[in-house]
Amino acid sequence: MSNNRRDFMKKMAIGTTGVIVGSPLISTGNIIGANERVRVAVMGVRSRGKSLARTLSGLKNAEIVYMCDVEQNALKDGINTVQKITGKAPVGVEDFRKVLDDKTIDALVIAAPDHWHAPATILACNAGKHVYVEKPCSHNPREGELMIQVAKKYNRLVQMGTQRRSWRVIREAMDMLHSGRIGKVYFAKAWYANDREPIGIGKVIPVPDSLNYELWQGPAPRVPYKDNLIPYNWHWHWHWGTGEALNNGTHELDLVRWGFNADYATKVSSTGGRYHYNDDWETPDTQIINFEFGDDKSAMWEGRSCNGRPVEGSGRGVVFYGTDGSMFTDGGNKFQIFDKNHKLVDEIKEGEDINVLDTTSPSGNLDEGHLYNFLDAIRTGARLNAEIETGHKSVLLCQLGNIAQRTGRILNIDQNNGHILNDAQAMEYWSRTYEPGWEPKI
């Protein structure tokens, strides 16, 4: 351990508190009991949802009671996964709304497609459930605002799945930044690079018997089913997905905003497009988003979905630049600090290396700490590490980047609430059109 880090840890030990944004303690009436297990329903149990269910099944303070999915094969596989770990099969349900009437269920874990994240969260809060929702928390900025409102109205805990907020080493890194470890931090570069294949040109075909496509679409206006949409390629369609900026950029830009100790950007611009292949992919596969945070900080995010050449030796990461050095983290639970002469002076790591480009579980076993924080908040009143207002502010950075991309203009942002200033056309992307009868209601 370097002398600088040793001094920092001593200060932490004698009473300096870490700067972790969290929700206030919930009222005693909402705590179910420190010795009780949180009864959970999981919505969306293919891939990412299956990974979360597997982790939850290994936590002694949680019980998965229901598994919910609109695709029967995914549902059966998810149930079997949990049963193998716990010895008990959860109840399989196609429509998650049916489990919201069960008053014994404490929380809903949401890993459905992006267009479902906010509407399902709002329905769950309305029904008195706490929510763990995967990133991005919303499909558009207005949904994020509604999520904050519904959580406050019903005094519900809503945690977004930005797992790094619960990683001990990353929390230490943020504390070091805030304490001036590399001087005044004034610039950050973030990136995500992968080698995704083309998705082809989809054909309209009959919906498979195993899929309830009507329910899969849910709040999104109806369009015909195509053979290259589900289970994953919806990510690259604006109608349901949010592109690479939110699919993966959310993690890095959450760290940028956290490291800057900032709420909102003041100016956002974006360049890029679908360059690599000629197919149905609509969102950018190549994108540079630039952010200004007042007059003294700026950041950029580089997304390359189809050319995975690494930056700083990693397919994803963040570098913070300060007046006295720089800090680098590669997406794992570790970081490096370099001095003004670019000499490595500190390297902190915890746990094994993980595959940061894994689309199912990019944080490996480290999901456990974030889920435990959510369960602990329900059971004991502990603070959430990524409550919904924090999540919304980070997701909003990515959404503003996409709005700048789609309008082709620089966006000026109100630092009081994150809204776009003096641009009615850009503000048209603030919300979306819903299938009639599916509009989110608080």
Per-residue DSSP letters for 3-23?
A: HHHHHHHHHHHTTPPP----P
Please indicate, yes or no, whether residues 159 and 252 belong to a single structural domain of this protein.
no
Phi, psi of 213 (to 5 degrees): -70, -30
**Is the CB of residue 193 less than 8 Å from the CB of residue 309?**
yes
Specify if 175 maps to a domain.
yes
Please indicate, yes or no, whether residues 101 and 175 belong to a single structural domain of this protein.
no
Specify if 234 maps to a domain.
yes
pLDDT of residue 225: 98
pLDDT of residue 354: 61
Residues of the chain under the 50 pLDDT cut:
1-29
Q: Which residue in 313, 318, 317, 320 sits closest to 338, CA to CA?
A: 320
Of 148, 164, 180, the last residue of a domain is 164
Please indicate, yes or no, whether residues 157 and 187 belong to a single structural domain of this protein.
no
Specify if 194 maps to a domain.
yes
Please indicate, yes or no, whether residues 411 and 296 belong to a single structural domain of this protein.
yes
Please indicate, yes or no, whether residues 181 and 280 belong to a single structural domain of this protein.
yes
**Is the CB of residue 181 less than 8 Å from the CB of residue 8?**
yes
| Rounded alpha-carbon distances, angstroms, from residue 42 to 93, 106, 110, 282, 374 | 10, 11, 6, 29, 14
Please indicate, yes or no, whether residues 159 and 256 belong to a single structural domain of this protein.
no
Specify if 352 maps to a domain.
yes
* Model pTM score: 0.91
Total count of domains within the chain: 2
Please indicate, yes or no, whether residues 182 and 266 belong to a single structural domain of this protein.
yes
Please indicate, yes or no, whether residues 282 and 309 belong to a single structural domain of this protein.
yes
pLDDT of residue 32: 67
Which residue's structure tokens are 């690079």?
193
Specify if 80 maps to a domain.
yes
pLDDT of residue 350: 87
Q: Which residue in 141, 106, 112 sits closest to 125, CA to CA?
A: 106
Please indicate, yes or no, whether residues 130 and 194 belong to a single structural domain of this protein.
no
Give the strands of the sheet with 91-93, arranged side by side: 91-93, 62-68, 38-43, 107-110, 130-133, 158-160
Specify if 395 maps to a domain.
yes
Please indicate, yes or no, whether residues 291 and 397 belong to a single structural domain of this protein.
yes
Please indicate, yes or no, whether residues 412 and 354 belong to a single structural domain of this protein.
yes
The whole-angstrom separation of Cα 8 and Cα 180 is: 10
The whole-angstrom separation of Cα 244 and Cα 270 is: 13
The helix or strand, by DSSP H or E, that contains position 373, with its residue range, turns out to be helix 367-380
**Which residues, listed in sequence order, are joined to residue 325 by a DSSP beta bridge?**
322
**Is the CB of residue 43 less than 8 Å from the CB of residue 108?**
yes
Specify if 2 maps to a domain.
no
CATH code of the domain covering residue 115? 3.40.50.720
Q: What SS3 class is residue 276?
A: coil
Specify if 382 maps to a domain.
no
Please indicate, yes or no, whether residues 123 and 195 belong to a single structural domain of this protein.
no
Determine the structural domain holding residue 137 and report its residue range: 19-164
CATH code of the domain covering residue 174? 3.30.360.10
The whole-angstrom separation of Cα 208 and Cα 168 is: 44
- The pLDDT mean for the chain works out to 92
